[in-house]
Amino acid sequence: MKNTNLKFIVVISLGFICLTSITSCKEETKSIKPIVINFKKEGELTLKKANDSIIKTIDIEIADDAYQTQTGLMYRDSMEDSQGMLFVFPEADYHSFYMKNTRIALDIIYLDANKTIVSIQKNAKPYNETSLPSNAPAKYVLEVNAGLSDQWTLEIGDKIDYSIN
């Protein structure tokens, strides 16, 4: 009889341990938060025709260090037509951009050290990793929503001026 009671206690104990381990180790759910980067106005930029007539003035975010120039507009869901990102490089050189992790279509406008447009890559497709090079040395690069360079009738030889807040 003692053997039967001992077996009963062992079976009940094992059952309790199993039940406890099943209910107390519930699966932990983790939510993955999407990366959200909001536009941060750091200055204003004015686009001008070669004859200095004003085409458009927009708010700009400035990318002027290694991290900012490598990240650019990646992970952004949208940008207003009155906004853009201005990349400022230490010196004029042939630069090339691509659209890795960039969710919005862009026009990429290359400007020389005199802030004059030297080439434009129009309608760069989201997530496309094809190289989009400048056709001449550029010190500045302006990224705006795709189609705006045509809407604003930008051409090689047009210029920019900008100020930092």
Q: Which CATH architecture has domain 43-164?
A: Sandwich (2.60)
Per-residue model confidence (pLDDT) at position 3 = 55
Question: What per-residue confidence (pLDDT) applies to 98?
Answer: 96
pLDDT tens, position by position, for the chain (165 residues)? 555 555 555 555 555 555 555 555 555 677 787 777 899 999 999 999 999 999 999 999 999 999 999 999 999 999 999 999 999 999 999 999 999 999 999 999 999 999 999 999 999 999 999 999 999 999 999 999 999 999 999 999 999 999 999
Q: Number of H helices and number of E strands within the chain?
A: 3, 9
pLDDT at 59 (0 to 100) = 98
Structural domain boundaries of the chain? 43-164
User: pLDDT at position 7, please?
Assistant: 59
> How far, CA to CA in Å, does 32 sit from each of 29, 35, 38, 53, 159?
10, 9, 18, 48, 43
Residue 36: its pLDDT value, please?
A: 79
| Per-residue model confidence (pLDDT) at position 31 | 77
**Opening angle at CA 53, ends 52 and 54, nearest 5:** 110
Q: What is the 3-state secondary structure (H, E, C) of 83-129?
A: EEEEEEEEEEECCEECCCCCCCCEEEEEECCCCEEEEEEEEECCCCC
Tell me the pTM.
0.80
